[in-house]
Every structure is written in structure tokens, then in C-alpha cells.
Amino acid sequence: MKCLHELKEFNVKNEGVGFEMKELGELIELEGKLSICNLETVASKEEASDAKLRNKRNLKELRLVWGTKQQTIDDDVLDGLQPHANLRVLGIINPGFVRCPRWLCGDISTKRLESLHLEGLSWCPLPAFEQLPHLSSITFKNIAGMSVFGPGISGVTERSFMHLKTLEFENMPELVEWVGEPNSHLFSRLESIKFRGCPLLSLFPFLECSHRFTNLCSLHIVDCPELSHFPPMPHTTTLTDVCVLFY
């Protein structure tokens, strides 16, 4: 088992079913994709560290998934789940923590990340995006407390999103505004923008300055009632896929 190369999903032991984190730690040759589920049963940073994710240099995609029935847990558990610096794709889903892990918000060790999916959390602050220059895809889903997105917010600077191509916001009940800045080329490489289930969203920079999005090909706005009266779509030579739906 120690030489196992592929494991799509690892279920942490819950009520007698599943495996211990230390058993995952023994699989040092894992590569490709891995989802770790039932993380709500991991009670401490030390137990999380038993998975030895930092040593799995060939792991490229990682999903960390907590169940809906959260137990009393140590806020440092995520710190113990630090992946190797070679990781390219990361998803963090339903963590019962109020703090972003240090390896994603402080002294970032995952600077080669190309895709980030954050779901069901209420971190303050969010990850230090200026230290993640290779991101090409970001998804925010069910993020509590996030009302504004843009420069100066949660580590967003002119160095952020230099390679970002896909940006998605889904079920964001408090998101009001995506802030833009005059003459900013912060999101100039974006090819796809999706908003779904953002009931308070009333402003985003494309409505005023389409020239900032010179590569935009796809724009989806679904169930965002405050955007139902936005002005006529600005002229663009690249935008070929537009979907606007209100329920």
C-alpha cells in the first residue's frame, strides 16, 4: 500500500467507517488527484499533520471536504493539512473555521496554485491573492461575510490575478459590489465571468469599462435581481457567450 500511486478519495474514519489520517500519511507516492472527506472528525492539528500532505510532492489536485455536521474542532486543523508546494489545484469545502490557514494567508507555501475553489466558509481575511500569481481559475461559493471584491480587499493588489482566466461567484448572499479602479488592468486576461445567486450584487466593473476585459468571451448572470436593470451591454469584439437569467 505504501507504493500506491492513485487514490481518488480518502474517507476519514467516522463512527467506525473509514481510515485514520496516519494511514494516509503512509501513502507517500500518491500522485494526481485526491479528495479527503469527513474532515470534521479530525480534532487537532497534530492529527491532521499525520496525513503528511507536505511530503506528497507528486500530488497536483487536492480537495479538503468537511461534512455538514461539524464537531468541536481545533482552529489549527487546516494548518496541519498543508500540501506540498507543487500543488496546482486546491478546493476547500465547508471548513468549520473562522481563520484562513497560515500556508494560504500568511507565509504562503502554495504559490504555484493555478486553480482555487473556496466554498462554505467565513474567513477573515481571505487568502493573500497577491502571493498567488499563477491563479487562472477562482470559484467563490457560499462565502459568508464577503460583501466587496476587488483591489485593496483581502490581499487583492495590482499584482493579483495576472493570469486569471475564469472567475465565478455562486450563492453569495452578502456580495454587493465588485470594485474596479480607473485605468486598472487587474482582470485584463479574464475569459469567463459567472455570477449565480448573488441577490445583493448591484455593481461590477464590466458594466462601466468593458475595455478592462479585452479577452472576455463568456458572461453569465443568473438569479442576481439587483442587476436586472443594468445599462446596455458595452461593445466588445471577444464576447460571444452571454447568459442573463432572473427567476
The CATH number covering residue 62 comes to: 3.80.10
Residues of the chain with pLDDT > 70, as a percent, come to 82
Cis peptide before 125 (omega within 30 of 0): yes
- Asked if residue 234 belongs to a domain, the reply is yes
Name the residue type at position 109: S
Q: How far is CA 49 from CA 85, 100, 122, 155, 223, in A?
A: 16, 17, 23, 27, 41
Q: What mean pLDDT comes out for the span 78-93?
A: 96
Question: What's the rounded Cα separation, in Å, for the pair 130 and 157?
Answer: 6
pLDDT for position 53: 97
- Asked if residue 1 belongs to a domain, the reply is no
- Nearest-10 Cα torsion for 65, 162, 110, 170: -10
Per the structure, the complete domain to which residue 217 belongs is given by 9-245
Number of independent structural domains in the chain: 1
pLDDT for position 232: 59
**Whose grid coordinates read 461539524?**
70
204: exposed, middle or buried (Cβ count in 10 Å: 0-12, 13-18, 19+): buried
Question: What's the rounded Cα separation, in Å, for the pair 92 and 228?
Answer: 31
Give per-residue pLDDT as tens, 13-34.
876 666 899 999 999 999 999 9
- Asked if residue 95 belongs to a domain, the reply is yes
pLDDT for position 234: 57
pLDDT for position 235: 60
Give per-residue pLDDT as tens, 40-76.
999 899 999 999 999 999 999 999 999 876 655 667 8
**Whose grid coordinates read 479530525?**
42
- Asked if residue 4 belongs to a domain, the reply is no
- Asked if residue 156 belongs to a domain, the reply is yes
Closest CA to 84 of 51, 47, 117, 43: 51
Give per-residue pLDDT as tens, 104-147.
987 788 999 999 999 998 887 788 888 888 999 999 999 988 89
Enumerate the β-bridge partners of residue 121: 143
- Asked if residue 177 belongs to a domain, the reply is yes
pLDDT for position 225: 92
Q: What mean pLDDT comes out for the span 164-173?
A: 96
pLDDT for position 35: 98
CA 135, 140, 145 angle in degrees (round to 5)? Answer: 125
- Asked if residue 117 belongs to a domain, the reply is yes
Q: Which of 63-77, 107-121, 200-214, 219-233 has the highest mean pLDDT?
A: 107-121
Confidence of residue 96 (pLDDT cuts 50, 70, 90): confident
HEC states along 5-27? CCCCEEEECECCECECHHHHHCC
Name the grid cell of 119.
Answer: 466554498
pLDDT for position 71: 58
Q: What is the mean pLDDT of the chain?
A: 85
Q: What mean pLDDT comes out for the span 142-168?
A: 81
pLDDT for position 217: 92
- Asked if residue 3 belongs to a domain, the reply is no
What predicted TM-score, i.e. pTM, was given to this entire model? 0.91
